[in-house]
Amino acid sequence: MSRKLKANILSISLSLLTTIILTSLLLIIIGKNPITIYGTLISEVFGTGYGLGQALFKATPLIICGLGLALCFQASLFNIGAEGQLNIGAFVMSFVAYNLDDYLGIMVIPVAIAAGFVMSALWGLIPAFLKIKRGVSEVITTIMMNFIALALVNYLLIEFIAVKSTVRTERILDTVFIPKLSDISSVFQGSSANMTFFFAILLAVFMYFIFYKTRYGYEIRSVGLNPTASRYLGVKTNRIILWSFLIGAGITSLVGVNFIFGYKGYYELGFSNNIGFTAIAVTLLAKNNPIGIIFTAFLFGVLDYGGLAVNTLVPKEIMLVFQALVILSILAVDKVVKIYYLKED
């Protein structure tokens, strides 16, 4: 095992430990027993097929969105705009889906996915363009584009598209839904987990292959590490930045598949519930490694559903604090490990 890998494992486990200690302290301060709460969480999630299914269901969009972000982050593009990109994409995806499901049948799924993907990618075009042509930081533009996206979707939905007195689009036909995991194994009975989960895993493996086994991945990572040096080595830096941003933003739209084709059958305002931001934490925790993202997204899925499971003991919002502490402690612990274990800096 290389020293670098050891350091990674060390920092991930240390930061999880830090988070658990900090959250436990918080729980003790407010007069709760942390052991009971962690115990309930674990038995509720891992003790029942339903709980596990729900955790997988919550993890699925985080994996997908995290993969899109990983592509951007690998190229050192801080895309804070996933929330906006995925809402635009999912909105268009559902619009295409319920309008064409009569004509295309099951084939509406790839068509709608393609439409959503392209829209999200185009939404990422503006920050990418500004970054390349004007040198404007993508951080600030993507934050602005988030607000514009949400207001735009809100406007289009409420003024023109929404089903009367709701904030959602029309439902797709029952025949074009993606099968649920409970259709295959009765273990997951009642949970919303669906085949999108396997699709997310496949996508992760594919992205891993691209990142670490192809020339494209090598170029993306080299641009991320040192754009100037990459340019001198003949890498077309701007092209890499543009395509990483577009495809990364496009991938985030696939979050909609889980919700639209796997769960509700329509797009609804607020469906994303800050997935675009939580996925940033998921991706960072995994250090942009696609396989790692599967695990960190699963951890967040467990916390997400686990929050509901322990809600009678402590408000489920404690998990939001837990998630934020995970990201801050991985950042801090990572640096400390770098300084004292790898002797960098």
Partner 1 sequence: MIESILSLTFLAQVLRMFTPYYLGASAANFSERGGVINIAIEGFMIISAFSYAFFTITFGNPFVSLLLTIIVSLLFSLLYALLTIKLKINQIVTGVGFNLLMAGTAKFLIMFFYQSSSNTPNFQPLPGLPFISDIPVIGKAAGDYIIVFGFILIFISQFVLFRTRFGLRLRSVGENPEAAETLGVGVRVYKLYGVLVCGVLSSLGGIWLASNQGSFSDGMIAGRGYIAIAAMIIGKWKPVNIFFACLMFAFFEGLEITLQITGSFLPSQIVQMLPYVITVLVLIGFIGKTRPPAADGVPY
CB of 32 to partner 1, least distance (A): 10
Q: Which CB atom, from 181 or from 314, has the smaller least distance to partner 1?
A: 314
Q: Which phi-psi region, left, alpha or beta, contains residue 189 (left: φ > 0; alpha: ψ -120 to 50)?
A: beta
140 binds partner 1 (CB under 8 A): yes
CB of 97 to partner 1, least distance (A): 23
Q: What is the footprint of partner 1 within residues 210-249 (CB under 8 A)?
A: none
Binding residue (CB under 8 A) for partner 1 from 136, 163, 205, 233:
136
Please state, as a whole number, how many other Cβ atoms lie within 10 Å of the Cβ of residue 118.
Answer: 15
CB of 189 to partner 1, least distance (A): 29
Binding residue (CB under 8 A) for partner 1 from 17, 106, 158, 163:
158
Q: Which CB atom, from 158 or from 187, has the smaller least distance to partner 1?
A: 158
Binding residue (CB under 8 A) for partner 1 from 28, 105, 107, 147:
147
Q: Which CB atom, from 40 or from 323, has the smaller least distance to partner 1?
A: 323
What phi and psi, each to the nearest 5 degrees, are found at residue 194?
A: -135, 180
Give the C-alpha separation, 112 to 120, whole Å: 12
Q: Which CB atom, from 201 or from 332, has the smaller least distance to partner 1?
A: 332
Which residue type, as a one-letter code, is found at position 150?
A: L
Binding residue (CB under 8 A) for partner 1 from 86, 176, 281, 294:
281
Q: Would you say 170 and 163 are in contact if contact means Cβ atoms under 8 Å apart? A: yes
Written as one string, the DSSP assignment of 43-102 is HHHHS-HHHHHHHHHHHHHHHHHHHHHHHHHHTT-----HHHHHHHHHHHHHHHHHHHHH
35 binds partner 1 (CB under 8 A): no
Give the C-alpha separation, 47 to 280, whole Å: 29
For the chain, first and last CA: distance in Å? 22
CB of 134 to partner 1, least distance (A): 6
Q: Which of these ranges, 131-139, 165-173, 186-194, 259-267, lies near partner 1 under the rule CB under 8 A?
A: 131-139
Q: Which CB atom, from 86 or from 145, has the smaller least distance to partner 1?
A: 145
317 binds partner 1 (CB under 8 A): yes
Q: Which CB atom, from 109 or from 327, has the smaller least distance to partner 1?
A: 327
Give the C-alpha separation, 97 to 104, whole Å: 9
Q: Would you say 235 and 150 are in contact if contact means Cβ atoms under 8 Å apart? A: no
152 binds partner 1 (CB under 8 A): yes
Give the C-alpha separation, 323 to 307, whole Å: 11
CB of 216 to partner 1, least distance (A): 25
The number of residues making up the chain comes to 345
Binding residue (CB under 8 A) for partner 1 from 145, 240, 251, 297:
145
Secondary structure of residue 194 in the 3-state scheme: strand
CB of 195 to partner 1, least distance (A): 30
Type and span of the H or E element at 321: helix 318-340
Q: Which of these ranges, 113-121, 183-191, 243-251, 275-283, lies near partner 1 under the rule CB under 8 A?
A: 275-283
Q: Which CB atom, from 107 or from 151, has the smaller least distance to partner 1?
A: 151
Give the C-alpha separation, 329 to 11, whole Å: 9
Secondary structure of residue 291 in the 3-state scheme: helix
Q: What is the footprint of partner 1 within residues 75-114 (CB under 8 A)?
A: 78, 80
10 binds partner 1 (CB under 8 A): no
Q: Between the CA of residue 332 and those of 4, 17, 287, 323, what are the distances in Å?
A: 17, 13, 14, 15
- Residues lying near partner 1 in the complex (CB under 8 A): 30, 78, 80, 126, 130, 134, 136-137, 139-141, 143-145, 147-148, 151-152, 154-155, 158-159, 277-278, 280-281, 284, 314-315, 317-318, 320-321, 323-325, 327-328, 331-332, 335-336, 345
